[in-house]
Amino acid sequence: MTTMTQTSARFREFKMPDVGEGLTEAEILKWFVQPGDTVTDGQVVCEVETAKAAVELPIPFDGVVHELRFAEGTTVDVGEVIITVDVAPGSEDAPAPAAAPAQEPVEAAPAEEPKGRTPVLVGYGVAESSTKRRPRKGAAPEAAAVAAAVQAELNGHGSAAPVADAPPVGRPLAKPPVRKLAKDLGIDLATVVPTGKDGIITREDVHAAAAPAASAAASEVAEPVAVSVPETPATVGSARETRIPVKGVRKAIAQAMVGSAFTAPHVTEFVTVDVTRTMKLVAELKEDKEMAGVRVNPLLIIAKALLVAIKRNPEVNAAWDEANQEIVQKHYVNLGIAAATPRGLIVPNIKDAHDKTLPQLAAALGELVATARDGKTSPAAMAGGTVTITNVGVFGVDTGTPILNPGESAILAVGAIKLQPWVHKGKVKPRQVTTLALSFDHRLVDGELGSKVLADVAAILEQPKRLITWA
């Protein structure tokens, strides 16, 4: 979704869009432009990370970058202006670009400012300002509090009202996740200087307050306003422990897993199976001309086996509608593949996987994995999944008890394929063996149905010819 505002005939604003399904915020990971750069319609200007993925944002008009409203590493609410563009450069009515905080004296923005004043917003490099770190109550002189208020005004967070002599009144304003973060970090919200709209305390304010707290224990006369502030503080802690802010994909994973584990009653069943014939099939397919140009591996056959098992047991492909107290059976399969990325676990899915031939499925798997590895998976690619496969075997793990992806009915965990002694045709022989684990939502899937699905997958992997006879 493109979000923009036309402030005048010359300057246009581009707001943080909702790049997913109802997302409320995103973190600016990287700017690809700076003030003074020329941009064209469709040019990517920044990369942001939402709770689902990293996404590149294109600008929807031509012009010259006038201001970047937020620094890299800043979490911005959807709807906030992140960049302004001069669409008619060279006109005489252009205001001078705002100076960086380090070049703007405190006296330039007095504390007593009319409420109707349009804030002067700074450009790129705002992370060096004092808004990133706030002194705790009593830890800095009156001038530091005034400077904090002035800097908040310069950054467009509100009017620079005097705050030095105004003690907090009532309960500090903050969203529940921010309150929890403050509790986890041991920060009293009453001591935090808010920079959000209407005096709301943001996560950045809490992290900023936590930074000087560590040094305050060593020296009560420290002056936080004089401390050099890193642009994007990634961790907070001491030499014995490290505190890492939970945000972006990691935050989404935590919320989704907790919600799934304590909402859907999980049941997990296991089966150990001889996959020697499947491994032989994989080797043969690698030499097949029809599979040229695509990656063939055991996961491909396992994915196809699960799709056939779902076709034989369609009731497993469903979702629970709590609001309407209904079971929604899906007549399509969007097959999720759990992928470990540098930003955390994501589960993109192959749309309409049930309709794909083996070469098409192999191509889709290869594209999915490559996109996830590059960190380019879109939120749309992770939406609408019905069942998922997680391959824990790549880590040498035998099996596990996977947690359902929210909104899905089942998840299949595939363990490591190992050469083991196995009774084959009445004799103990070395065979390639793996363990499968199927977790399912017991509200939707009875034990009998779940057992049939898992048994079908195992039977196909033991005798891959069933891909033909059962399909």
Question: Which amino acid would we find at residue 302?
Answer: I
Residues whose CB falls within 8 Å of the CB of residue 398, separated by 6 or more in sequence, listed in order:
415, 416, 435
Neighbours of 444 (CB within 10 A): 22
The total of other beta-carbon atoms located within 10 Å of residue 230's CB is 12
Name the catalytic one among 66, 266, 354, 442: 442
- Give the integer Cα–Cα distance in Å for 198 and 140: 24
Query: Residue 281's closest CA among 272, 291, 267, 273?
Result: 291
Alpha carbon distance 464, 277 (integer Å): 7
Burial, 162: exposed, middle or buried (Cβ in 10 Å; 0-12, 13-18, 19+)?
Answer: middle
Active site residue 442: yes
Residues in contact with 266: Cβ distance below 8 Å, sequence separation at least 6, in sequence order = 401, 403, 404, 439, 440, 441, 442
Catalytic residues: 442
